[in-house]
Copies of this chain bind each other. A is one copy, B any other.
Amino acid sequence: MSTVGILGGGQLARMLALSGAPLGVRFLVVDSLADACASQVAPLLLADWRDFDALEEFARRIDVATFDFENVPAETAQWLTEHTTVYPNPRALSVAQDRLAEKTLFREVGLATPAFAAIDSLADLERALVEVGYPAVLKTRRLGYDGKGQYRIKSPADVAPAWDALGRVPLILEAFVPFEREVSVIAVRSRDGEFRTYPLTQNWHADGILSMSLAPAPDSDALAPRAFDYARRVAEALDYVGAFALELFVHEGRLLGNEMAPRVHNSGHWTIEGAPASQFENHVRAVLGLPLGDTASLGVNVMFNWIGELPQAAPVLAEPRAHWHDYGKEPRAGRKVGHATLCAFTAEEMRERLVRVARALGREAQAAPVLAAL
């Protein structure tokens, strides 16, 4: 019986533990919050990630360490590799933690990206805007997720405020791409290099946070193989082990690399019921060196993300092939507190299900772009 240690005790750790338990795998979560929601389903080691005495106990009690959050301090990841087995490896984490390193890697493996430039001074920013043009997005290189640490620059008047807002840390300026679609590849790579992808997922964001996902992404027969190939190249370049997400923009028929998440990803939550082996189960299998599981889709799948607070559960619970996920977290503005996945055998059946559920929840606006795409 193997024990997987997880740095971070949020909903991703929670779903990893729930998905791995049937395999007979045990878990140990390290988090500095006593009410970390993963602690409802797995033992918790209450400690800061920089508490190396606690990490020594953690390393002793587990067989392999992994993460539910990419912004693990580099020295923690490095220390762990010297004391236990760690997947994904610290280099993959550090590349994904830094938007500049990430975009540079994308280009190295042949994946185009929006124009970008490293920014370390106001002069850099002014110079880069000449090349990148308006509108552009100024982002912190590190610790950005869910739209945090970003400033949209629409005209020269925004330059000084953007610099004031973000200019205390290393930045990256990226061209704003008026993309037609956002898609993500949810993929998994095993210890021995086997690589599998789930069907391409199409995503919609609201206020920088994932709002809805649809898988398989419609009309993606030509797109998906190219997207999967990029994901494979990124994974191989990083010698990545585990599940990850590659987020891509689709613009004028081209795929542009947006970012990589070196962990299970919100846009892959539909795989819990929509695929025979979920991204969570496959991450656990990968880091333990077990055979990878089946990533085929069992039909059409739509995920609603619940941000801030949960809507009523009853309309979802009462709907056939609808699945409710409450992460056991306190409500708070901007916080991911749960999701719901609707599954159907056909797009037609999904349209009916989605209309019915969205109406019952008063979430017609949230569901509208998915209905339009289906």
Contact = CB atoms under 8 A, between A and B. Distances in A.
A18 interface: yes
A162 interface: no
A323 interface: yes
A294 interface: yes
Contacts of A293: 317
A368 interface: no
A155 interface: no
A313 interface: yes
A26 B37 CA distance: 11
Contacts of A273: 276
* Count of this chain's copies in the oligomeric assembly: 2
Contacts of A326: 1, 22-24
A354 interface: no
B314 A291 contact: yes
A257 interface: no
B276 A294 contact: no
A41 interface: yes
A325 interface: yes
A26 B41 CA distance: 9
A313 B290 contact: yes
A325 to B, nearest CB: 5
A343 interface: yes
A321 B294 contact: yes
A178 interface: no
Nearest to A17: B41
A47 interface: no
Interface in A290-304: 290-291, 293-294, 296, 298
A23 B18 CA distance: 12
Given A41-B21, A42-B41, A321-B276, A328 B26 contact: yes
B290 A23 contact: no
Given A18-B18, A291-B314, A23 B324 contact: yes
